[in-house]
Amino acid sequence: MNAYESGRTSVRRLAKVFGLPASTVGHWVCTSGAGQTSPARHRPVTGDTHLIALVRELCDEPRHRTFGHRRIRALLRRRYGLVVSRKSVLRIMRDQGLTRPKIWHRTWRPRRVEKMEPVCPNRAWQIDMTSFQLSDFRPVFLVVVIDCFTRQIMGWSLGHRCRASEWVSTVRMALESAGLTSKELCRLLKLRSDNGAQPCSKRFVEYLGSVGVKGQYTGYNAPDDNAFVERVIRTLKEEEIWPNLYDTMSEAREAV
């Protein structure tokens, strides 16, 4: 019989002697000796079989399979009139294996397009936009169109706004510089862009259709699908924009 069982000392005194938390020593005492275990904690709410069945029923519904304990608790109150604490619902869901990890990783999406490998000019173009600031923190937006075969910048625009109009004017400049002035000349040209608001806008899509250019989008979360124009923009920013500070739009336009 140890000192605790003989009644000569307490758990807190033993914890003080060993320099350990009282909960740790209490666990040792309860599990020592003749296989004694600590009594199960009485849980009048989380041990209710009817409440557990309701929580599981709500979590098993297809629309609720991504719900957390807060939304399940709200459904219990709205649908069944049961007012249960948030921690009680969380404990039930944990015991039943109905919780999900706190950190969700975004689902990987396969690419929809492959790398552009044109065999001659004016067959594969890419367009993209970037932004920087003037010295007074006014935003400036740069739109660039590049030929993937010659790596030549066919068109670009610089302004304080980033509407679909700026994208249309950039493509118009590129077509004029390449001499593509008719639908027949543009029928073999593909213009690839990301899935932003401007390239997906009705005005930009309608303009591509009116000039005979075939629009193409990159895959989601796949910037390397637009690697040619992305690399040109990176070079421009590393070698010109980031090392300098422009006070006016005319100064920035001249530098670009």
Task: Identify whether residues 84 and 131 lie together within a single domain.
Answer: no
Residue 116 within any structural domain of the chain: no
pLDDT given at position 34: 44
**Phi then psi for 85, rounded to 5 degrees?**
-65, 155
Partner residues linked to 141 by β-bridges: 131, 159
Number of domains in the chain: 2
Distance between CA atoms of 83 and 119, rounded to whole angstroms? Answer: 69
Residue 209 sits in a domain whose CATH number is 3.30.420.10
What mean pLDDT do residues 112-125 have?
A: 89
Task: Identify whether residues 73 and 179 lie together within a single domain.
Answer: no
Q: Which two tokens stand for residue 15?
A: 């914890």
**pLDDT band, very low/low/confident/very high, at 109 (cuts 50, 70, 90):** low
Burial (0-12, 13-18, 19+ Cβ within 10 Å), 113: middle
Structural domain of 77: 49-95
Task: Identify whether residues 132 and 248 lie together within a single domain.
Answer: yes
pLDDT tens-digit readout, 133-173? 999 999 999 999 999 999 999 999 999 999 999 999 999 99
**Which residue is associated with the tokens 């637009």?**
226
pLDDT tens-digit readout, 46-75? 778 999 999 999 999 988 888 889 999 999
CB 73, CB 89: distance < 8 Å: yes
pLDDT given at position 14: 84
Task: Identify whether residues 88 and 145 lie together within a single domain.
Answer: no
Position 1 pLDDT exceeds 50:
no
Q: Who wins on pLDDT, 244 or 38?
A: 244
Strand order through the sheet with 139-147? 153-159, 139-147, 124-133, 190-193, 214-217
Complete DSSP assignment for 149-178: TT--EEEEEEES---HHHHHHHHHHHHHHH
Q: How far, CA to CA in Å, does 63 sit from each of 67, 101, 103, 136?
A: 8, 18, 20, 49
Task: Identify whether residues 238 and 128 lie together within a single domain.
Answer: yes
Task: Identify whether residues 189 and 128 lie together within a single domain.
Answer: yes
pLDDT tens-digit readout, 211-241? 999 999 998 777 888 999 999 999 999 999 9
Position 117 pLDDT exceeds 70:
yes
pLDDT given at position 160: 95
Task: Identify whether residues 150 and 90 lie together within a single domain.
Answer: no
% of the chain at pLDDT higher than 70: 87
Average pLDDT along the chain: 87
Residues in the chain, how many? 256
Task: Identify whether residues 77 and 135 lie together within a single domain.
Answer: no
Return the ∠ at Cα 41 (arms to 36 and 45), rounded to 5°: 160
Position 40 pLDDT exceeds 70:
no
Return the minimum-mean-pLDDT range out of 33-47, 80-94, 181-195.
33-47
Distance between CA atoms of 84 and 242, rounded to whole angstroms? Answer: 56
pLDDT tens-digit readout, 27-36? 777 766 544 5
Position 101 pLDDT exceeds 80:
no
Distance between CA atoms of 252 and 159, rounded to whole angstroms? Answer: 10
